[in-house]
Amino acid sequence: MDILNNLFWLFLLLSFLSPLLQRQMLALARARSLQTLERRRGSRLITLIHRQEAVALLGLPLSRYIDIDDSEQVLRAIRLTDPQLPIDLVLHTPGGLVLAAEQIAEALLRHSAKVTVFVPHYAMSGGTLIALAADEIVMDANAVLGPVDPQLGQYPAASILKVLEQKPIEKIDDETLILADQAKKALVQVKAVAKNLLRKHLEETQAETLAHRLSQGTWTHDYPISAEEARAMGLPVSTAMPPEVYALMELYPQPRGNRPSVQYVPLPYRREEHRPR
């Protein structure tokens, strides 16, 4: 009985420690991967990767976005980097707080050495704003950027202003009028930030035109801007993604539920090896 009791408590202890050990191993693997890529490229590597995360023991998905904590950490990493040392930023995010994204973008813009942003899958909204500050944007051939038009709560700022055009002002409630005032200011502010970043790549008139196109509600907020379209806009886009960036992304796995929605054999397949038999 004592043996069974001891085994039971040992099992509970291992069950408790196992996730902690796994997290530590994953953190070490990430650190090694970062250092390997830094040595290869002679740069400071920063990651800004937002996955869904599990909440405590409930297993509920919690979406992550660019926030003030992110900007504080990225700005600290930039401050700790010699101005003459290149910076590489791996960016994987749905966007987030405009203030935080603007802080990161402006800090990257002021960095003297080359700044490269890697987008292995997507960098939408505030993520795109950050990417505009880079000297080079390296995208996977299937990765996307997105518009940077501001959102007020659940509504696009540009769409809120449309209400003023479509209804007499006496038929618009006070709350909508207040939102429209905020929307107008937000559109002006974000366009100014985008234009300032785009001056790095484009002439004044081109920067003005593209900033307007990206920030003033030309598309829906989730419109995917491909590498080809971004390049046609005049952005410094490359699709020469280093394999090490994909390997690094594997160390930031999406939390698993009870049943994975995507499954495949995680090995490279070649046609010669997989002909029908």
> pLDDT by residue (tens digit) across 140-158?
999 999 999 999 988 999 9
Q: What is the pLDDT of residues 154-175, one digit of tens each?
A: 899 999 999 988 888 888 999 9
- What is the fold, at CATH topology level, of the domain defined by 30-146+224-255? 2-enoyl-CoA Hydratase; Chain A, domain 1 (3.90.226)
Angle, vertex CA 187, rays to CA 184 and CA 190, nearest 5: 145
**Are the C-beta atoms of residues 125 and 98 closer than 8 Å to each other?**
no
Percent of the chain predicted with pLDDT > 70 = 79
Domain chopping of the chain, boundaries: 30-146+224-255, 149-219
User: How does residue 57 score in pLDDT terms, banded at 50, 70 and 90?
Assistant: very low
**pLDDT attached to residue 100:** 97
Q: Is the pLDDT assigned to residue 60 strictly greater than 50? A: no
Residue 28's pLDDT is: 83
